[in-house]
A and B are shown apart, each in its own frame.
Chain A
C-alpha cells in the first residue's frame, strides 16, 4: 500500500505540486432493520478507493477513484493536478498550511468484542426481542428497530513525510414506536432520536443500551402522548433539557458556529456562515460561567474519536468556550494558519471520494455540579424536554427552534404531567447565557450524531457530543396552534 501511495505523492511532486496527500479507504458497513416484526433490510456494503489532494499553483485540486491500481493512481493524480491548475485561474488567496505534519503510526478503536464477529443471528435476536416487547403495547401503529456496524480502514500519507494507518469501528442502533390517533402522530425513540444512537467501540456498547428492556416503556409513552396535554403555547418559562436533546443543541448552536471555514465564508453557499466572527475570539461571552464546551478527538465512545484527522494531525482536546467565554474554533491546517494558530485536528472526509473539510469531532458540554433530582427540586416552574423531534437553525447559527418527542411539566420542584408537541426557540448567545445549571458527571453521556450534512458534494459526518441535562431560564416555549 505504501508503494502505491508513494507513487501518487512522487508523481504529484514531480509534476509541480507544492503539497500532496493521499488517503486510501476501505469502508465496510452492515445494517439490519426490523419493521413490525419483519426484517425489512439486512445489508452488507463495502466501498474502497483513494483520493488525491494536491496544492499546485497555490490552489487545491482533488480527484478520486474506486479502482486501486498503479495506472489509475497515475491518472487520478494527473487529474487532481489539472483541477488544481484550473482552480488557480480563479484564485486570490494563496494557501498556507502552517507547520509541516509528519505523523507516523497506527490506531485502532478500543473495543471488547469486534462487532463484525457477532453472528447475524445474534444481532437479529436483539432487534426481534425489542420488537416483541414493543408489540406487547396496545395501540401502537408502527414498530421499528435497527442496528448498524461500521469498520473503516484508512491509510494517509503526505509529501511532508506523514504515514498513518487507522482502524475505526462504530456501532449504532435503536428502537422507535409510533402511535396514531386522536388527530395525532406521536413517536418515541430510544436511546437517541430517530432511533439511532451511535458510538465508536464494540458490540458491548450496543448491548449496554438494553434495547429490549426499554421497548415497552417507549411504546407505552408513544401511546400516552396521543392524549397528553399539548405544550403550552407562546409562554416564557424555564426548561431542563435531557442529555440527548442537549447534545443536538450543542451540535447545532456551538459545534457548527465554531467551524472556522464557516467563519471565513467558504461554506456560505451551502451550510452557511457563523455569527462567531474572529473579532469575538477571547472577548465574546458566549454563555454563562457554567458553560464549558470542548472539542476533542480522544474521549472514549465519541464518533469524533480517532488517531489522526484526514490531514494527519494528531487527535487532541481544546476548549471552545471556557467559563462562558468564547476561546476557540474547530480548525484545519489552512484556516488555523490564517488565524495564527495551529490545527486542532478537525479535518475529516466522509469517504475516499470526498475532500476533507472542517467537521466537528466530539464537541461536548462539560459536566457541572448538579444532581438531576436536585435540579428538578430547585425548579419552581418549567418543562423538562427530551429527545429531538425537529431542529432548525439559521445560516449564521443564531436563531433556532427545536421540538422534542416528550416533555413533562415541572411544578414546585416536582415532575408532573406528560406534555406533547413541545418546542422551544431562541437566539444562541441569549440561550447559553441563560444556562444556570449543568448536571454532574454521573448524568453525563457521550451521544452520537451520525447524520451531519455539510459540503458540496455532500458529505455526511459522524460526530460525538457529551452532555448532561442542563437548565435554561426564561425560554420561549410552544409554537404550534
Chain B
C-alpha cells in the first residue's frame, strides 16, 4: 500500500507539472492474489502488485490523456508530456463541462486489513477443503479464490483530492460430475464473510442432484432463478441501458419507457455507492461524490446514471458515475446496483410452482437486440424441472433468447434474502435476490 500521504505527494508532483493547463490525476494501486484450482488441485497461483497513473490534460476544451505505471520523476515527466501533446493535437470539444470542484465525501468502510494480508497458504487451506470434499464424493472441483486490496485516488487542478482504500475477496467454484455440474459464488470486502466451505458444499450438492439429466423440449417455462441469474439480468440491463450515454444515443432499453410501468411492481432497482451492504466507493473516477440513483421503482424506469459530460448534454447534474478515462467512451455506468428484496424464499418459490424450471446460473449471455434488451445465453451448472411444487429431475442445458425487460414484467416472487456478488462483467459489486418469473423463452437445447 502507498498510503494517503504518499499518493497525495505523487498527485501534487503531477499537477505541478501541469501549470500550463488544467489536469486530472487518477492513481490506482492494486495488490491482488488469486489461487486457481481444477481437478481438485491448485494449478495456477498468482500475485500482482502495480500502480497505474492516468493524467487528463486540458487546454481550454482540448483534452488529451496518458497513463503509465512508472512513478519516478522521469515517468511523471513523460506521462504529462504525452497527455499535453495529445491535448494539443485534439480539436476542442464544445460540450466539455470542465473539471469538478472540491467536495466532501462521506466516510465509508470498505477495507479489512486481514483480507489485504491473506496469504497463499490461507487460500490453499480454504481451497483444499473444497477439493477434499469434492474428492470424497467422486466429484471434480475447480474454481478460484482471490483476495487483495487497492487504493484509488483522484486529484485535479481545482483542488479535488479523493482517496479510497478497499479490500476484496471472491470465491467461486464449479463442481463437476460426469454429466452434471454445480456452481457457487460469494464476494465481500471482508474475506471472513465469504464462507468458502459452505459455498463449496452448495456447488457439490447441486452437482450431485444434477446427475442423469433429461433432455426437454425448448419452449416457454415459468422459472425460479437463483441470485446468480439475477446478477446476470441486472448486469445486462445495466450495460445496455442504465447509463445516460446509451439513452442519449437512443440505444437504451429505457428509451420510450421512462415513467411507464413496464416491469412488475416487485422490481425496484437502484445504485448506491455508499451502502456498506455493497462494495462502497464514495466518489466516481472524476472525483464527483456518488449519489444514490433510483433506476427502476416498482416496475417504472426512473432514469439513468450520469457523469459530468452526459449530464451537461442532458441538462442534468452528474450523479457520480463516471468511469476511468480509458473507459469513458462507454459513458457512465452504475457500479453499485441493488435490487429490492421481496418476501419469499427459494423453497416457497419452488413449492408454489406447478411446472417450471429451477435454474442455478446463466452463461455466455449476449445482446441479440438492444430495444428491449433481448439476450441469448445458456443455462449452466444446474437446471432442474419443478413438478407439483417439488424438484422432479435434472434437465440438460437449454439456450434462451428472451427480452430481460419483458421477463421482469412477469415477476411472481422475490426472495427476502439478497446476496452480494462481484459481477462477471466489470467486477462491480451487486446485491441481488432470487426471482420467480412467470415465463421465460427457451429456444434450443444441447445433445
B314 at the interface (CB under 8 A from A): no
The reply to whether A60 and B380 contact each other, CB–CB distance below 8 Å, is: no
The reply to whether A65 and B39 contact each other, CB–CB distance below 8 Å, is: no
Assuming the contacts A61-B45, A62-B46, asked whether A457 and B65 have C-beta atoms less than 8 A apart, the reply is: no
Assuming the contacts A42-B64, A49-B69, A479-B443, asked whether A66 and B51 have C-beta atoms less than 8 A apart, the reply is: yes
| Residues in chain B near residue A48, CB distance under 8 A | 69-70
| Residues in chain A near residue B444, CB distance under 8 A | 399, 401, 425
| Residues in chain B near residue A31, CB distance under 8 A | 326
B85 at the interface (CB under 8 A from A): yes
Partner of A63, one of B46, B90, B250, B376: B46
The reply to whether B68 and A45 contact each other, CB–CB distance below 8 Å, is: yes
Q: Which of A86, A185, A423 gathers the greatest number of chain B CB atoms within 10 Å?
A: A86
Interface string of B83-122 (1 = CB under 8 A from A): 1011101110101000000000000000000000001110
A291 at the interface (CB under 8 A from B): no
A22, chain B: closest CB distance, angstroms: 14
Looking at the complex, which of A77-85, A159-167, A204-212, A363-371 is the stretch in contact with chain B?
Answer: A77-85
| Residues in chain A near residue B183, CB distance under 8 A | 269
The reply to whether B142 and A41 contact each other, CB–CB distance below 8 Å, is: no
Interface string of B417-447 (1 = CB under 8 A from A): 0000000000000000000000000011111
B406, chain A: closest CB distance, angstroms: 10
The reply to whether B46 and A83 contact each other, CB–CB distance below 8 Å, is: yes
A91 at the interface (CB under 8 A from B): yes
Tell me, in angstroms, the Cα distance from A425 to B174 when the chains sit together. 27
CB closest chain-A residue, reference B121: A86
Interface string of A327-357 (1 = CB under 8 A from B): 0000000000000000000000000011101
CB closest chain-A residue, reference B250: A180
Assuming the contacts A266-B38, A268-B176, asked whether A65 and B369 have C-beta atoms less than 8 A apart, the reply is: no
Partner of B124, one of A87, A180, A264, A456: A87
| Residues in chain A near residue B127, CB distance under 8 A | 90
| Residues in chain B near residue A377, CB distance under 8 A | none
B264 at the interface (CB under 8 A from A): no
B400, chain A: closest CB distance, angstroms: 10
B371 at the interface (CB under 8 A from A): yes
Interface size class of A (residues with CB under 8 A): 35 or more
B377 at the interface (CB under 8 A from A): yes
Assuming the contacts A39-B90, A43-B326, asked whether A86 and B46 have C-beta atoms less than 8 A apart, the reply is: no
A6, chain B: closest CB distance, angstroms: 22
A10 at the interface (CB under 8 A from B): no
Q: Which of B48, B68, B140 gathers the greatest number of chain A CB atoms within 10 Å?
A: B48
The reply to whether B399 and A45 contact each other, CB–CB distance below 8 Å, is: no
CB closest chain-B residue, reference A425: B444
| Residues in chain B near residue A401, CB distance under 8 A | 376, 399, 401, 443-444
Tell me, in angstroms, the Cα distance from A121 to B95 when the chains sit together. 22
A283, chain B: closest CB distance, angstroms: 18
Interface residues of B in 325-341 (CB under 8 A from A): 325-326, 328-329
B389 at the interface (CB under 8 A from A): no
Q: Which of B36, B85, B250, B370 gathers the greatest number of chain A CB atoms within 10 Å?
A: B36
The reply to whether A392 and B376 contact each other, CB–CB distance below 8 Å, is: yes
The reply to whether B143 and A390 contact each other, CB–CB distance below 8 Å, is: no
The reply to whether B174 and A398 contact each other, CB–CB distance below 8 Å, is: no
Tell me, in angstroms, the Cα distance from A329 to B369 when the chains sit together. 35
Interface residues of B in 38-67 (CB under 8 A from A): 38-52, 54, 63-67
B34 at the interface (CB under 8 A from A): yes
B384, chain A: closest CB distance, angstroms: 18
The reply to whether B39 and A93 contact each other, CB–CB distance below 8 Å, is: yes
Tell me, in angstroms, the Cα distance from A26 to B33 when the chains sit together. 22
The reply to whether A45 and B66 contact each other, CB–CB distance below 8 Å, is: yes
A299 at the interface (CB under 8 A from B): no
B298 at the interface (CB under 8 A from A): no
B16, chain A: closest CB distance, angstroms: 20
Interface string of B62-80 (1 = CB under 8 A from A): 0111111110000000000
| Residues in chain B near residue A49, CB distance under 8 A | 50, 69
A-B contacts, CB under 8 A, total = 253
Tell me, in angstroms, the Cα distance from A355 to B378 when the chains sit together. 29
Tell me, in angstroms, the Cα distance from A388 to B446 when the chains sit together. 23
| Residues in chain B near residue A63, CB distance under 8 A | 46-48
Partner of A64, one of B47, B82, B90, B446: B47
Interface string of B143-167 (1 = CB under 8 A from A): 1101000000000000000000000
The reply to whether B42 and A59 contact each other, CB–CB distance below 8 Å, is: yes
Q: Which of A59, A65, A87, A180 gathers the greatest number of chain B CB atoms within 10 Å?
A: A87
B358 at the interface (CB under 8 A from A): no
B355 at the interface (CB under 8 A from A): no
Assuming the contacts A86-B123, A269-B142, A392-B364, asked whether A38 and B93 have C-beta atoms less than 8 A apart, the reply is: yes
The reply to whether A423 and B368 contact each other, CB–CB distance below 8 Å, is: yes
Assuming the contacts A33-B329, A86-B45, asked whether A399 and B446 have C-beta atoms less than 8 A apart, the reply is: yes
| Residues in chain B near residue A80, CB distance under 8 A | 47
Assuming the contacts A399-B378, A457-B32, asked whether A120 and B89 have C-beta atoms less than 8 A apart, the reply is: yes
The reply to whether B250 and A421 contact each other, CB–CB distance below 8 Å, is: no
B328, chain A: closest CB distance, angstroms: 7
A401, chain B: closest CB distance, angstroms: 5
Interface residues of A in 436-464 (CB under 8 A from B): 456-457
Q: Which of A60, A79, A354, A394 gathers the greatest number of chain B CB atoms within 10 Å?
A: A394
B316 at the interface (CB under 8 A from A): no
A235 at the interface (CB under 8 A from B): no
A186, chain B: closest CB distance, angstroms: 10
A176, chain B: closest CB distance, angstroms: 11
Tell me, in angstroms, the Cα distance from A357 to B144 when the chains sit together. 15
B352 at the interface (CB under 8 A from A): no
B260, chain A: closest CB distance, angstroms: 15
In the complex, besides A46-B70, A425-B443, 16 extra interface pairs with C-beta distance below 8 angstroms are A41-B325, A42-B65, A42-B86, A45-B326, A60-B43, A61-B45, A63-B48, A65-B50, A82-B120, A90-B127, A91-B41, A124-B89, A180-B250, A392-B366, A394-B363, A423-B368
* 14 pairs, CB–CB < 8 Å, chain A vs chain B: A38-B93, A46-B67, A46-B68, A62-B44, A62-B45, A64-B47, A86-B45, A87-B120, A93-B39, A124-B89, A183-B371, A354-B46, A390-B367, A479-B368
> Which residues of A are interface residues toward B (Cβ below 8 A)?
31, 33, 35, 38-49, 59-66, 79-80, 82-84, 86-87, 89-93, 120-121, 124, 141-142, 178, 180, 183-185, 264-270, 272, 353-355, 357, 390-396, 398-399, 401, 403, 421, 423, 425, 427, 456-457, 479-480
